[in-house]
């Protein structure tokens, strides 16, 4: 068991476990934020697993999750507009904390693989992850008029 797998276990157990608690309890606005964070934390976990198992092909999973996670959150933002309109979620702090964790993981992995095509792919995953989650978080808190409109 190497360090990457230990880090993946900590991220998955601590981070995703906490979002599971958040999605199980509390008001609806807290639950949608926790659902968004669960994808934002599972993606660095998958990246760490790919490095820990020494299988670069597993990075594709993190890429797909970085693409589809914000899509899932946007589904909730669009279809729960009425429920969230009078009590909009505010989650700037945790969103940036999750984005920072993702950036730290991507930087550590880039340092591990060195300059190559794999590094470009990792940077793409990181950019998609952080950008997608910031956009999804803004859509949840009503920052994007198009999503709120329907």
Partner 1 sequence: MADAVVVVTLLLVAGSATTAVVVRDPVRQALVLAVLGVVLAVLFTAVQAPDVALSQLAVGGALTPLLLLLAVRKVKRRKGRER
- Residues found near partner 1 in the complex (CB under 8 A): 1, 5-6, 8-9, 12-13, 16-17, 19-20, 23-24, 28, 31-32, 34-35, 38-39, 42, 45-46, 49, 52-53, 55, 57-58, 60-61, 64-65, 68-69, 71-72, 75-76, 79-80, 83
Q: Work out the angle at residue 92's Cα, subtended by the Cα atoms of residues 98 and 13, and round it to the nearest 5 degrees.
A: 30
Closest CA to 7 of 37, 69, 50: 50
Smallest gap from Cβ 115 to partner 1, in A, equals: 25
Largest CA distance in the chain: 50
**Of 19 and 130, CB closest to partner 1:** 19
- Cβ(45)–Cβ(2) under 8 Å? no
DSSP 57: G
**Of 19 and 99, CB closest to partner 1:** 19
**Of 34 and 139, CB closest to partner 1:** 34
């Amino acid at each position: 068991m190497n360090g990457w797998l230990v880090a993946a276990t900590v991220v998955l157990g601590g981070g995703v476990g906490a979002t599971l608690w958040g999605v199980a309890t509390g008001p609806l606005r807290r639950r949608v934020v926790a659902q968004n964070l669960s994808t934002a934390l599972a993606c660095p976990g998958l990246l760490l697993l790919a490095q820990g198992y020494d299988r670069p092909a597993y990075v594709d999973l993190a890429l797909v999750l970085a693409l589809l996670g914000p899509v899932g959150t946007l589904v909730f933002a669009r279809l729960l507009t009425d429920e969230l309109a009078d009590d909009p979620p505010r989650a700037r702090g945790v969103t940036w904390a999750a984005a920072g964790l993702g950036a730290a993981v991507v930087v550590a992995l880039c340092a591990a693989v060195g300059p190559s095509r794999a590094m470009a792919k990792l940077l793409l995953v990181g950019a998609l992850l952080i950008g997608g989650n910031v956009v999804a978080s803004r859509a949840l808190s009503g920052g994007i008029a198009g999503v709120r409109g329907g």
